Amino acid sequence: MEFIDRVSELEELNRVLRIGRPALIRVYGRRRLGKTELLRKLCREQQGLYLLIDEADPPRQRESLSEQIAAEKRTVSIPFLTWDRFYGHLRKLDAKFVVLDEFQRLLSSDPQGVSQLQHHWDTSFRERGPSLILCGSSIGMMQSLTTRRTAPLFGRLTADMQVAPFTYKASRLLYPDASEEERIIRHAVFGGTPYYHEFSVGRTLKDSVTDAFLSPTAPLIEEPQDLLRLELKSPARYNSILYEIGKGTHDLRGLESKVGAKRGGLGPYIEILRRELGLIRMEDPVCGMGKQARYVFDDPFFGFYYHFVFENRPRLELGRSDSVWADIVKGLDAYVGREFERVAREALRWLNGTVYKGVRIDFDEIGRWWNRQGEEIDIVAAGKGEVIAGEVKWSASPMRFEIYNRLQGKVRLMERLSGRPVRYLLVSRGGFDSELVEEAEKRATILLDMEDLRKMFDRHRGRP
């Protein structure tokens, strides 16, 4: 696929490489996010040298690196009998910077290779270069380079970049000819990982989902498990937590009950999924009471997988892909509706600090609101002078005035408005009926339909 987005990442890497002294940069993030393409593009634009560390024993790794350098520089291959010789040779190359991709393979195969890197950085590279970019897909192993004072590169990094999944703003660019509705559906299914969209671009949704997920040999049917196995020795409990989140359990006590853990027993697992792997995030109700945290997927792909695919693998083994697809069709609108809420919140971030349709939008916090009684508000954006409360509907029918009335009722239940006035926001896939449009104009309520969202995302560049 065409390289898209990653504008801010390229700008930041270029900024660090321009600071006038050699830089030691760590770039990491889970696999398939496009780290390699990002760094290859950087190498092409800035005369860098890209090297990939093989998954092999150390002698073969060094042999492969020698062959890559010879091919890139069009010279004969020089044998590197030790890591010391390899790093010594890098200093002699005519390269502004060197990328060592899949660096976690060196971490796991030969600690001596990392120790030698530390030595060469301290004694020569940091003064005379070239700059080094260490890239890896094992988040835990890449973080181990600097986590403790005894870690090999503790305190030595010039810059640290964790590559995140695409936001909707970026993933929609993969579908330039699609309607905004279709773009939202594809993002809800395939999420923010560019590689996953290779199964989707230019194809029908049914063909995309069927080929990617719905067969025993489908390329993505084991993808989340493979990610967990890459990072964790015993992924079973983590997998159970992700499954329960995918099926709709988001509070800690509920997860403990579903998974069969004692009170407080899931804390370490949740923190690894959240902080180290970045698969889930914790949300608190904006303008609500504390101690009501919910855990949700950071990337829609995992929500789709654990909601529709994971528990159906036995049926897929029996060749019942048509039956599983029929179930997906039945539940897809409800699932996409929740992701549509996230798209709407992302759109509002783009408007923050601007005037939109005569309304000044200015907030410091955005998310959702809920209480213990089960009432929820899809969007709450709280600023010092005003709170925006919004309802989001994925229905193809026009939103009716009754939705507005119900939203007003829920706002009266919010615990921490602190006397701030509330402005209302309504977002609808199917537009709005005439009564609602008329009342919205009277009350300075913000209305966003699909065409409004399309224009907003087309207009802005970068990342909110």
Q: In whole angstroms, give the CA distance from residue 191 to residue 299.
A: 6
Q: Does residue 425 sit in helix, strand or coil?
A: strand
pLDDT class of 5 with cuts at 50, 70, 90 = confident
Q: At what angle do helices 180-190 and 321-351 cross, to 10 degrees?
A: 110
Decide if 173 is inside a domain.
Answer: yes
Q: Minimal CA–CA distance to 157: which of 127, 129, 126, 136?
A: 126
Q: Judge if 259 and 359 occupy the same domain.
A: no
Q: Judge if 334 and 387 occupy the same domain.
A: no
Q: In whole angstroms, give the CA distance from residue 247 to residue 374.
A: 17
Question: Tell me, what CATH number does 206's domain have?
Answer: 1.10.10
Decide if 2 is inside a domain.
Answer: no
The confidence score (pLDDT) of residue 1 equals: 53
The confidence score (pLDDT) of residue 62 equals: 95
Decide if 19 is inside a domain.
Answer: yes
Q: Judge if 253 and 330 occupy the same domain.
A: yes
Q: Judge if 429 and 333 occupy the same domain.
A: no
Q: CA torsion 86→92→94→97, rounded to 10°?
A: 50
Is 22 a residue whose pLDDT tops 60? yes
The confidence score (pLDDT) of residue 31 equals: 87
Q: Judge if 409 and 392 occupy the same domain.
A: yes
pLDDT (mean) for 454-460 = 89
* Region for 129 from its dihedrals, namely left if φ exceeds 0, alpha if ψ lies in -120 to 50, beta otherwise: left
Query: Which residue, of 125, 146, 162, is where some domain finishes?
Result: 162
Q: What is the mean pLDDT of the chain?
A: 93
Query: Which residue, of 162, 179, 196, is where some domain finishes?
Result: 162
Structure tokens at 378: 């899809």
The confidence score (pLDDT) of residue 462 equals: 47
pLDDT (mean) for 397-426 = 95
Is 463 a residue whose pLDDT tops 50? no
pLDDT, tens only, 296-320: 999 999 999 999 999 999 999 999 9
Is 168 a residue whose pLDDT tops 70? yes
Decide if 448 is inside a domain.
Answer: yes
The confidence score (pLDDT) of residue 464 equals: 43
Q: Which amino acid is at 95?
A: A
Q: Judge if 103 and 117 occupy the same domain.
A: yes
Rounded percentage of the chain residues whose pLDDT exceeds 70: 98
pLDDT, tens only, 191-208: 999 999 999 999 999 999
Q: Judge if 57 and 95 occupy the same domain.
A: yes
Q: In whole angstroms, give the CA distance from residue 417 to residue 398.
A: 30
pLDDT, tens only, 239-250: 999 999 999 999
pLDDT, tens only, 357-376: 889 999 999 999 999 999 99
pLDDT (mean) for 424-435 = 96
Question: Which position has the higher pLDDT, 424 or 140?
Answer: 424
The confidence score (pLDDT) of residue 3 equals: 64
Decide if 464 is inside a domain.
Answer: no
Half-sphere exposure (CA, 13 Å, Cβ side) for 350?
A: 20
Decide if 1 is inside a domain.
Answer: no
How far is CA 331 from its chain centroid? 24
pLDDT class of 291 with cuts at 50, 70, 90 = confident
Structure tokens at 382: 């709280």
Q: Judge if 199 and 186 occupy the same domain.
A: yes
Query: Which residue, of 107, 142, 162, is where some domain finishes?
Result: 162
pLDDT class of 150 with cuts at 50, 70, 90 = confident
Decide if 17 is inside a domain.
Answer: yes
Q: Judge if 198 and 220 occupy the same domain.
A: yes
Contact 300, 339 (CB under 8 A): yes
Residue 231: give the domain boundaries: 169-339
State how many domains the chain has: 3
Question: Tell me, what CATH number does 447's domain have?
Answer: 3.40.1350
Q: Judge if 355 and 227 occupy the same domain.
A: no
pLDDT (mean) for 330-334 = 97
Question: Tell me, what CATH number does 47's domain have?
Answer: 3.40.50.300
Q: Judge if 327 and 413 occupy the same domain.
A: no
Structure tokens at 155: 């305190």
Q: Judge if 22 and 133 occupy the same domain.
A: yes
